[in-house]
Structure 1
Amino acid sequence: MKAFRFKLVASVISLSIAAAAAPAFAQTADEDDGVNDGEIVVTAQRRSEKSVDVPITITAINASQLETANVQNLADISKLTPALRFDNAGGWFQPTIRGVGTPVATSGGGANVGIYVDNFYSPNPLAANFQLMKVQGVEVLKGPQGTLFGHNTTGGAILVRTADPSTETGGQIKASYGRFDEFKSQAYFTTGLTDSVAFDLEGMYSRGDGWLTNVVTGIPQGYYENWSVRTGLKIDFSDSASLLLRYQHAETNDPTPALTATYRDPVFGSGAPWFAAPSDVTFDPDQIASRHKQHIRSNTDIFQATLKADLGFADFASYSQYRTEKSDMSLTLSYNGTGIFEIGLPIENKTWSQEVILTSKPGGALQWTAGVFAFGNKDTWQVLSDNAQPTRFRIGGSGTNTKTLAAFVDMTYEISPQLYLTAGGRFSHDSVTGAYFNTFALPPFDPTFKQPLGDISSDHFTPRVVLRYKPNSTSSIYASFTQGYKSAIIDAGGSCQNAPAYKCNDVAPEKINAFELGYKYSDRGVTVDLSAFYYDYKNLQVSAYLAGRANILNAANSEIYGLDGQVSFRVSDSFSLNAGAAWTHARYKQFNNAPVYTPCSVFPAGSGANCLDAAVLNNGITFLVIPTTLKNVTMQRTPEFTAAVGARYSTLVADGKLDLSGNLYYSSKFFFGPSGIQFPQDGYATLALRAAWTDPSDHLTFAVFGENVTNKRYLTQVQYSNFGIGANWSKPASYGVEVGVKF
């Protein structure tokens, strides 16, 4: 109760501070939308440039597009970005771009898509799906970014840009209420303490009841409550030097990704184990079956310092960051109401990073970016038995220290006014040290004793070469070659703990070679971005349940190719359209030891198939994960076709402005299963609608909105283990009202 009161007070204080702001708060269209004289401006090459001049496929999402699609957190941008998915394994959010992603969730692991907020690397998959704070725009860079952004960007990078503090005093408040008793509020305030010192403060608070009912207890489940506060202090030492200090604290309590029904497969039926009674199983998208209360909680503190200076010959930027993330999860591995195989996972991450970048001045024939990057992360995992909730006892754990040191340079030379050559490279040294696991099943049989594991290290050089032809000032044609990699892993939480050898799998780095041809056009309110790509993707790190643990191993090579296109058209001052589509042909060329789920009921009793005879005789479902060699099969979590269409229309009503907007997203069929051939989700489409009226002074806005208004129910994730298979379903149609005030 005290914690709730504190959160409520923090939210009220933030709202009150914003309400106290007297002068009008507004940002120019250029600042809000990343637009400069009608041109989209991006930072994909670590410097501000017109998107038409950047030889990378980029989905640039401005503030109005985020609003149109009712984007509340980072995962929601997938509704606006073809070929991007956000999946989850429990509390781990795992983005995939063009088929390049990872199902790996382990100590020392990481995503295949790098997430950067204001140029700061956010490495922890537990903190990937954060609420968006005063966002000016989001850029999704498709394809490996190994030169400019480094390790674990094999699929691409997501860049989030927020507002700096301003000396012009102002504030903004938003609050909404919707179906399922959802309340969301956000307040922002900025002012100048002096002519050269600016301060800002932002608070966010959200809560809701969820839409699920537990059929075992009859109690509604899904209540969530999240809040965050962020503040900044910007000091302009002169016209050429500034320092921005930021602190953010966020707390989340949202069990939604852990709340699963039992999955029903079109081939072998129920994903419940043989010992589950009918009352312990539900397949209804609005229900779960659980004897225990699942939870996912996190507590994050982030400290950042950004120093910028004009050195005359180049622009200097330094990004220093320290962050701690503590989380606690209680998850089921049987995905039913038996109350067996419930685990707790308290996890702590301590991360530091330092990056220094030099960028050439615009205008010369040679444009370049050079920098160094250092990063370290120490994680500690505990594994608890939650079968006897609320009592928990420890049954193991693991931990690793991962470090990276890198240097990079990227140069573009103007051969002629029409022809440009870009070449760059990054040298990275990665290491994993201090890895251990706790000895629950190994002498001294102490779940707190740290069994040390060997250290590993590797060096990588990831080049980039681009030839770009610019026939005129409004278009570009380019051909590029880029490389990327995902760091090696010590599988401390999996294979290292398997009897009798207790030997860790040698999990080598993933590597990807990417070739792309692209065309870009931007003029008179029309932008076009087209590309064709080919990836040679090797040593995929995959997760397979063996001996009851998710073991990580290199088991697959893949070939990916496809087409990607985006168009935006400002039909008039009052009507705009944007559309995008992607065709992605992603196949495992060779997948050795692919984990194929097979129900034990297909094996005769006494066959020695490692199934329980009782399970076979009762024709129940216990699962064997059969290692199978697969060739030319679809990749996991990769729909072949995705598309998004958005529209916005403005007109005058009662002397104010009425904005009508909508966003339609479509995904074709794909497979959630780790082998790429199981657990299908058929094609589906979702529609978001919004109507907002702003008064003539531009201070007050009223809006109504609807999300998934056609009430399409589809699988958002299939969870799996040796003990069962679970299903997460999409949220039903939701709707609500919003009020916004600017001062």
Structure 2
Amino acid sequence: MRKFFAPGASLVVVATLLASPAFGQEASAVQPSSGDEAAARQRPENQGVQEIVVTAQRRSESLQRVPIAISAVTADNLAVSGVTSLANMQVAVPSLSVQNVAGYLATHLRGIGSIANGPGFENPIALYVDGVYYANQSFGLAGFNNIQRIEVLKGPQGTLFGRNATGGLIQIITKDPGPVFEANGSVDYGNYDRLEAKLYAGGPVSDTVSADFAVRYARQGKGWGVNEYDGKDVFTVADDIGVRSKVVWEPGQFKFTAIGDYGYRNGTMNALRGTTGSFTIPGVPAPTYSDKWNVNTNADQFVKSRGGGVSLKGEADLGFATVSDLVAWRETHFDSQFDYDGSPLPLIQVYIQQKDVQFSNELQLTSNSGGPLSWVAGIYYFNARGSAVPITVTNASDPLLNPNYPLTSAIISGYQDTESLSGFAQATYKLTDRLSVTGGVRYSREKRNISSQINGVLDLPGNPVIPLVPTVEASRTFKRPSFRAAVNYDVTDDIMVYASFNTGFKSGGFNVTIPTDGAYLPEKLAAYEIGEKADLFGRRVRLNTALFYYDYKDFQVQIPRPVGTGFANAAKSEIYGADIDLTVVPVDALEIKASGTFLKSKFKDFPNAPISSATAGTTVVLGDVAGNRLPYTPDVTFNVAATYTVPVGDNELVLNGGWLHSSSFFFEPDNVIREGAYDQFNASATFRIDDGRYYITVYGNNLSNELVRSLVQSTPLGPRMDVLQSPRTYGVRLGFDF
């Protein structure tokens, strides 16, 4: 990493403040972590809907008191719902869809998102883990361990979280080690020779230090399908390893939290296959498969990723406010190879080698409770480099299959640098005991630099290398404010209504794979929302709803190119709809959850959109798609789940069942490729003994074995490529928790 700017020294500021006389207070004056508060505020047994504490406004607050649409899922909810990674998070949050794009995590929330990837490209649904922003999401598909809860914030979060939370964000909060030792673990075995083992242990080391350690290992020896070209299994996991440790030190009047993590993944879950009926290459028949999870490609497809990071957070109570500083560094290495034509012919093969390094530092001051005014202010610095080291596109060495022969390979080498600095502030004032107003602003300045070149390899003696695109170097600076205004009113102690206006933007940038394209523009979003949050009938019913309208400008869209992928900006779009979250606890042993999202979307102005033929008879061209729906915006998505606890002597049996429904949606702006409506069903039964210390779970996911494509993408040759979600899976899990 290059320069780290002055905020990197802000831990020194915290340490200096801690040394001042203002800190001659009890150690307990330091604000408890969100984990401590969440544990403290869990509902007692037999008292209705569980209380959940979130940090959506950079402070610990009840989910029901925050004027933001949030889906918060606890570790227990994740376990009984069978959600083991973000890949199947839609089971719990239907407005969130997750795509696996050649091994990268890609997400859409309320129709906002992107499947684009590459050096320096960031998703408009931001991902945070323990307060650290993950610019590169190649590890976003890894399995969970030691999760406390996941918060999904809907709508732009540009004021408190920054420039790449246009459509919202996902916050993953892991456990904090506490004053009491705890340990849990499990071993899971299922069909397709799947094995997963987890272990967590944490507790006090001394009077002032606590620490924990979490490790996860998974593999899947048998694939969901086979490659009919060579008989090898596809959709396998050779190794999936994750290690994470947290150390909390509370010497006297302040608190430091250090976190380190490392992960490694290797498998073929990125396997692409040709869409049935999509091939237009002369002499190549439309692909058919003997099994719906099979592929038929000449290239070995695999994805490997490794990396991790460290972070250090210092916190101290100043009396009137809490000051904190979070410094983090991360590095990832990503390798992915896939067949870009989806056929058994050696037409196009892509090998991605990408390295990402990032440094971030956030200095924050948060008012302590008391009085009608609460506020938070801070400075955030981010510095990153995404490098192609390199990306290789290989074409056929047969002149009959390669119109550019003797050019057989294009090698893309380069990097994109990002340096961003922003300041933010947000305040809430209680005008009366029931009426509050909130205002916030953030100003971001971001500089992007690119250096990229493309060389070609000729199929001639000595394999000479020739320049295809000489080195392109360019720089662009983007500046923009983001705003939030909200008003909320407590109708009763258990019912709150709110209205808000938020803006957000996703930074513009460059495309390392096609450097001659120049910079693409930032996305801009203005969001209007009204909603209510209510606990009813003695907290036996929780009903949270929101109505929203998005004015969306310069949506960044992919354009397939013969080498690499280009970007275009859709000038104007709109999305509007509603979210509903309902939880009912009719009796103490039964909890019913239902969530739904209803969407309408439209491109209002997009004259240069990528369009492919409905019959796949032509390659991609540019045209006007005004009036079309945005990708990944089904009219209706909802889930219904029920959990029933049955006493069995001194033990208990926990039964869970869930149903996820999605109406049809389009994958691309041209509205040619449609995914039909689908339904998925999950179920589990858990028998807990010895006061829950030991358990056995039998489970099944996607019980109807529904084939769902999470991604379909057009290519310049005419074929379309599928990425598939998992088939029916089932298994048994043995675990302990004490």
Distance 1:112 1:93 in 2: 12
Q: What is the CA-CA distance between 1:733 and the residue it aligns to? A: 1.2
Residue 715 of structure 1 corresponds to 709
Pick the aligned partner of 2:529 from 516, 540, 565.
516
**Structure 1 residue 359, shift from structure 2 partner:** 1.1
From 281, 285, 293, give the equivalent of 1:273.
Answer: 281
Structure 1 match to 2:503: 483
Q: Partner amino acid for 1:468? A: N
Shift, 1:393, TM fit = 7.2
1:562 to 566, 569, 577: 577
Deviations 1:482-523 (A, max 9, x none): 0000101112312x3xxxxxx433411110000001111125
Distance 1:113 1:139 in 2: 12
Instruction: Work out which of the residue numbers 587, 591, 600 in structure 2 matches 1:576.
Output: 591
Residue 317 of structure 1 is matched in structure 2 by: 324
* 1:206 has 2:201 as partner: no
Q: CA offsets per residue over residues 11-52 of structure 1, 9 Å max, x none?
A: xxxxxxxxxxxxxxxx99974697367432211111111122
Q: What's the CA shift for 1:384?
A: 1.8
Tell me, yes or no, if the aligned pair for 1:196 and 1:236 is still in contact at 8 Å. yes
Kindly indicate whether the alpha-carbon contact (under 8 Å) linking 1:358 and 1:369 is maintained by their aligned counterparts in 2: yes
Structure-to-structure mapping, 1:126-141, within 5 angstroms: 126-141=138-153
The 5 A counterparts of 1:44-123 are 44-123=56-135
Aligned-partner SS, 2:64: helix
Aligned to 1:416: 432
Of 284, 290, 293, 1:286 maps to: 293
TM-score by length of 1: 0.87
Looking at structure 2, the residues matched to 234 and 737 of structure 1 have their Cα atoms a distance apart, in angstroms, of 35
1:692-711 alignment, distance < 5 Å: 692-711=686-705
Q: How does 1:299-318 map to 2 (within 5 A)?
A: 299-318=306-325
- 1:563 is displaced (CA, Å) by 1.0
Residue 226 of structure 2 is aligned to residue 232 of structure 1: no
Distance 1:702 1:159 in 2: 29
Can you list the C-alpha shifts for 1:695-716, whole angstroms capped at 9, x where unaligned? 1332110110000112122222
1:22 aligned residue: none
Q: 1:272 to 1:656 in 2, by over 3 A?
A: farther
Structure-2 separation of matches of 1:593 and 1:33 = 54
Give the aligned CA root-mean-square deviation in angstroms.
2.4
CA distance in 2, matches of 1:106, 1:164: 34
- Deviation of the 1:210 alpha carbon: 2.0
Identity %: 27
- SS of 2:619's equivalent in the other structure is strand
Give me the whole-angstrom Cα distance separating, in 2, the residues matched to 1:32 and 1:261.
46
8 A contact 1:396–1:448 mirrored in 2? no
Name the structure 1 match of 2:558: 543
Q: Cα gap change, 1:223/1:102 in structure 2, threshold over 3 Å: closer, same or farther?
A: closer
Deviations 1:455-489 (A, max 9, x none): 10011100100011112211111111000001011
Q: From the superposition, tell whether residues 275 and 447 of structure 1 become closer, same or farther in structure 2 (CA, over 3 Å).
A: farther
- Alpha-carbon distance change, 521 to 181 in structure 1, aligned in 2, over 3 angstroms: same
Among residues 417, 421, 428, which one is paired with 1:405 in the alignment? 421
2:720 — aligned with what? 725
1:232 Cα deviation from its structure 2 partner:
1.8
CA distance in 1, matches of 2:290, 2:558: 26
* AA of the residue aligned to 1:721: T
1:455 aligns with 2:449: no
Which residue among 567, 583, 605 is the counterpart of 1:590? 605
Which residue of 650, 662, 666 corresponds with 2:661? 666
Q: 1:196 aligns with which of 179, 187, 208?
A: 208
Shift in alpha-carbon separation, 1:169–1:29, aligned structure 2, 3 A: closer
Using the TM superposition, give the Cα deviation of residue 448 of structure 1 relative to its aligned residue in structure 2, in angstroms.
12
Q: CA offsets per residue over residues 44-97 of structure 1, 9 Å max, x none?
A: 111111122111111111122111221111222111112211123212221111
Residues 312-349 of structure 1: CA deviation (Å, up to 9, x unaligned): 11112221110100010101110111122001111000
Number of residue pairs matched by the alignment = 679
* Contact 1:439–1:451 (8 Å) recurs in 2: no
Mapped to 1, the partners of 2:432 and 2:364 lie a distance apart of: 27
**Distance in 2 separating the partners of 1:730 and 1:192:** 42
Q: Are residues 420 and 672 of structure 1, via their aligned partners in 2, closer, same or farther at CA, if it must alter by over 3 Å? A: same
Cα distance, 1:447–1:137 mapped onto 2, change above 3 Å: farther
Offset at 1:679?
1.1
CA distance in 2, matches of 1:656, 1:271: 58
> Which deviates more from structure 2 when the two are superposed, residues 109-118 or residues 158-167?
158-167
2:639 corresponding residue in structure 1: 644
555-564 vs 324-333, greater mean Cα deviation:
555-564
Change (3 A) 1:735 1:546: closer
CA distance in 2, matches of 1:64, 1:357: 31
Q: Distance in 2 between matches of 1:576 and 1:561?
A: 30
Which amino acid in 1 is paired with 2:326?
Y
Q: Distance in 2 between matches of 1:654 and 1:393?
A: 68
Return the alpha-carbon distance in structure 2 between the equivalents of residues 344 and 517 of structure 1: 46
User: Mean alpha-carbon deviation: is it higher for 550-559 or for 700-709?
Assistant: 550-559
Alignment of 1:117-516 (within 5 A): 117-208=129-220, 209-224=222-237, 225-238=239-252, 240-257=253-270, 259-264=271-276, 269-271=277-279, 273-276=281-284, 282=289, 284-381=291-388, 382-385=390-393, 395-440=411-456, 451-494=471-514, 496=515, 503-516=516-529
Question: Residues 272 and 281 of structure 1 are in contact (CA less than 8 Å); yes or no, is this contact kept in structure 2?
Answer: no
Q: For the residues of structure 2 that align with 1:377 and 1:366, how far apart are their CA atoms?
A: 36
Shift of 1:435: 3.1
Report how far residue 445 of structure 1 moved.
5.7
Aligned equivalents of 1:28 and 1:553: distance in 2?
A: 42
Distance 2:701 2:601 in 1: 30
Change (3 A) 1:531 1:77: same
Could you list the per-position Cα deviations for residues 155-188 of structure 1 after superposition, in whole angstroms to 9, with x for gaps in the alignment?
Answer: 1011111101224223111111001000001001
Q: 1:393/1:593 Cα in 2 relative to 1: closer, same or farther (>3 Å)?
A: closer
Q: Give the counterpart of 1:686 among 666, 680, 684.
A: 680
Return closer, same or farther for 1:70/1:730 CA change in 2, 3 Å cut-off. same
Cα–Cα, structure 1 residues 634 and 393, in superposed 2: closer, same or farther, change >3 Å? closer
Indicate conservation of the 8 Å contact 1:659/1:691, yes or no: yes
Alpha-carbon distance in structure 2 between the residues aligned to 1:34 and 1:82: 26
- Structure 2 unmatched runs, 5+: 1-33, 45-49, 398-407, 459-463
- Alpha-carbon distance between aligned partners in 2 of 1:169 and 1:220, rounded to the nearest angstrom: 43
Alignment match, 1:741: 736
| Contact 2:35/2:148 (<8 A) preserved | no
Q: Does 1:624 align with 2:644?
A: no
State the secondary structure of the residue aligned to 1:650.
Answer: strand
Partner SS, residue 606 of structure 2: strand
Q: What's the TM-score, normalizing by structure 2?
A: 0.88
Opposite residue 520 of structure 2, the aligned amino acid is: V
Equivalent residue of 1:67, what SS? helix
CA gap 1:186/1:373 in 2 versus in 1, 3 angstroms:
same
| Alpha-carbon distance in 2 for matches of 1:448, 1:312 | 62
Alpha-carbon offset, residue 434 of structure 1: 4.3
